[in-house]
């Protein structure tokens, strides 16, 4: 893409996000929900999982969520709850790319923005690493307020920063599999495993399982793997940790990695896929919705 075209695309993206600043969240959410899901959003009496996620966006504003969606700030919270041994170490934390001490970074590392669902830069070999491209990705992400993507309110006031962490890869699987636990009032009901992420020529695969790691016939946004991923060695440990972290919330998806015999905390997600990605079969939207009990004290 030429520089002129890149500038034009960036301008259009910023203009669209600026327009959303003057849109009523409920109105925007209703329109996008219908466009994505194919049925009108019922906020008066939500039934499906995706409807209830929109209700939580609009009406349930626990202030601690702003800390928990901050990729840097959440580490202290999680360490206090389950122990610092599960936290991926922080190599550096900066407000601008100009502050990064590139020479001090290890041969392999990951850069991500603390306030965004994106802005990820992976360095597997510093000798061939394109620093200029990385800076462009980070600058774009730092300008972006993820709140205006879908009015997930906890992101609105997260301070934009750049976080550096070690690059992780499991020796056995040759990747970093993501185990994402759906928790409801402190109880794990289901999870999905993300595989093939970052593999050249491969789209990421999502495989859903119940709380006992039985494969479920669900697709959502991505295809299943040709062979379902095996139960991880530390499955029960991750499930217990997810239950501990989620017990104070009506619903949260708690993510972990398992790499080389060690469990690592990933993130806490309160609005899975923004609340507007279809389940296949659609009945699972209702099943997950039954598990999510909306708080009465709002």
**pLDDT tens for residues 39-51?**
999 999 999 999 9
- The pTM of this model reads 0.91
* CA–CA separation, 34 and 40 (whole Å): 5
As averages over each run of 10 residues, the pLDDT of the chain (298 residues) reads 44 51 86 96 98 98 97 98 98 97 96 89 95 95 92 95 97 94 98 87 92 98 96 98 98 97 97 97 98 91
The reported pLDDT for the residue numbered 11 is: 45
Phi first, then psi: give them for residue 177, nearest 5 degrees.
-75, 145
The reported pLDDT for the residue numbered 179 is: 98
* CA–CA separation, 180 and 103 (whole Å): 34
The reported pLDDT for the residue numbered 23 is: 75
275's tokens: 């609340």
* CA–CA separation, 61 and 54 (whole Å): 12
The reported pLDDT for the residue numbered 71 is: 97
The reported pLDDT for the residue numbered 202 is: 80
* Domain extent listing, the chain: 24-69+170-298, 89-167
The sign of the CA dihedral 41, 45, 51, 55 is positive
The reported pLDDT for the residue numbered 14 is: 52
* CA–CA separation, 89 and 94 (whole Å): 15
């Amino acid at each position: 893409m030429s520089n002129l075209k890149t500038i034009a695309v960036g301008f259009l993206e910023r203009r669209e996000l600026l327009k959303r600043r003057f849109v009523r969240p409920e109105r925007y959410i209703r329109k996008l929900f219908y466009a994505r899901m194919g049925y009108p959003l019922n906020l008066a009496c939500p039934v499906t999982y995706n409807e209830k996620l929109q209700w939580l966006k609009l009406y349930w504003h626990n202030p601690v969520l702003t800390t928990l969606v901050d990729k840097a700030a959440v580490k202290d919270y999680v360490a206090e709850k389950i122990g610092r041994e599960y936290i991926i170490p922080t190599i550096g934390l900066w407000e601008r790319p100009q502050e990064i001490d590139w020479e001090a970074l290890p041969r392999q590392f990951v850069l991500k923005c603390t306030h965004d669902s994106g802005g990820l830069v992976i360095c597997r070999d510093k000798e061939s690493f394109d620093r200029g491209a990385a800076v462009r990705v980070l600058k774009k992400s730092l300008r972006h307020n993820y709140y205006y993507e879908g009015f997930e309110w906890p992101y609105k006031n997260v301070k934009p920063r750049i976080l550096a962490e070690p690059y992780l890869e499991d020796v056995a699987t040759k990747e970093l599999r993501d185990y994402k636990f759906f928790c409801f009032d402190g109880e794990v009901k289901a999870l999905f495993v993300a595989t093939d992420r970052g593999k050249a020529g491969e789209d990421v695969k999502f495989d859903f399982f119940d709380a006992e790691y039985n494969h479920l016939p669900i697709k959502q946004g991505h295809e299943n793997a040709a062979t379902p991923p095996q139960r991880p060695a530390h499955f029960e440990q991750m499930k217990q940790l997810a239950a501990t972290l989620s017990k104070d919330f009506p619903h949260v998806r708690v993510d972990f990695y398992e790499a080389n015999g060690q469990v690592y905390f990933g993130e806490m997600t309160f609005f899975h896929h923004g609340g507007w990605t279809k389940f296949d079969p659609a009945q699972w939207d209702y099943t997950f919705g039954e598990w999510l009990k909306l708080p009465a004290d709002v």
